[in-house]
Structure 1
Amino acid sequence: MGEDVQAYVKSCLICQMDKTERKKAAGLLQPLPILERPWENISMDFITGFPKVRDFKSVFVVVDRFSKYVVFIPAPHACPVEEAAKLLGSELKFSTANHPQTDGQTERINALLEEYLRHYVIATQKNWVDLMDIAQLCYNLQRSSAPGMSPFKLAIGEMFDEARDSLEKAARRMKKYADRDRRLLEFQVAYMLKLPERLKLHPTFHVSFLKPYHEDLDAEMVQTKRAPPLVMKQFDREIEKILDHRTMRHSRKNRRTDFLVQWKRTSEAEATWERDVTLWQFETAV
């Protein structure tokens, strides 16, 4: 009996969707490889939503992964990444959607730039474009903890071996502390899922957002069902039979089907019209 209970709970659809796993985050940290010199590999992102100033309303952020040198470029709008890569003459590699840790370096720079602008922007917020050069200069002159020197000094200098050693030590230290709260899991890094068209979501998800689905292999076992989203109706009686149906509205977008339902222990005269979506408990009968 204990095994049956465990199998039932493990395959319960609602339990799998709602219950939080009390486990460490899935997958160990996989640091990016250390580069040989500046400007071999860059990360880039757009910060959008700025007030329009001189036709500029976003910032194109470029970060050199080796020297940590940053470039802030005011832009009219968020340019498609393919076009940005073509203009730079570089090979494009996408980071995982909804997983900022994939490109944590650029996300951190974005946060620093936004914090800087909050400090120095005027009340009308019309001077943010003029602050870009100062923000870029201030950041690049600061000593970066990972390479052990300022981005400006490393980008124009020749101390690449020392910086590479410091970056490797920083990567090992970061992995050591990050893996304390993670567990090994043999999965790919990301998966592309087939989602319903009504969900306006990017279909690629990092493995940390996913968990295995356990199917109920016993076809006779009655599983609890959940109401579809936005359906606020549930019946506590059973259907005797469907007497009739009708289709309301003719456009595909607004079309709906109603069913004339005779409930058990009631007469046909007491039958009621019910919308198809509210009969989610009775898929086989409908």
Structure 2
Amino acid sequence: MAFHPQTDGETEWVNQEIEVYLRAFCSKEQTRWKEYLPLAEFTHNNRTHSVLKKSPFFMMMGYHPRPLPTIFKRTTIPSIEERLQELKRIQEETASLLELTRQQMIRREKQKLDTFEKGQKVWLEAKNLATGYLSKKLAPKREGPFKILEVLGPVTYRLDLPHQWKIHPVFHAALLSLYKETEAHRPSFMEPPPDLIEGFEEYEVEAIVGHRLKKRPQEFLVSYTGYDSSHNRWIRMEGMVNCLDLLKKYIKRHKLKPKDPIPIPAD
């Protein structure tokens, strides 16, 4: 197996197939998947792979180990009978899951995905991101644009995400779309410069879009005028002196009872 799987197309395909298969298997056997994992592994390694054209067992040993028989001699011991039937069920289900995985991988391969280059900017689908918005329906459908820092493989990219997100910055191409700017209009938006107040940079808070009152100190998620949602930040109550009107309206609208005191503006 290649040290860097993304540099080897066949290895990348096999790794993705195993990932899909194990995810389906663990979802099916949620309570006992660890117990049955060796059988799932055996079934996978004894099956001819669509990419390798051989099974992993055959490539390693030159033959296929004998699998669990499909017909058992009846026994008078109930516990053994139950165990054999359970193993037979798992064997049949793993075989079915492998076939479903194969079909899913074929569909993935046929799906036309955009390709990107290092340095390009892309939009990121926000459906799986925990961005702090109270309502998923009102949250942005996509975030960004973000610069591509590294092309890791045929369909995986490392993005330059805001440091406050604290999430793994590698994403599948299916979640990305190219950010475009035209000759006439240039970028889709221009970020305004900050105001200078007593020598310090200040950004205008546009809205409060979320809160974490159970966390201490308590925090509010704010968006800034002229900036996209990737610049949203969690601000402590004490740091919201310059947007007290927004803060009071937000607390009233959501009927909140914050334990931290509302800050008082300096004279």
Query: Given the two structures, how large is their TM-score scaled by the length of structure 1?
Result: 0.31
Which one has more relative contact order, counting CA pairs under 8 Å at least 6 apart?
Answer: 1
Higher-Rg member (1/2): 1
Query: Given the two structures, how large is their TM-score scaled by the length of structure 2?
Result: 0.33
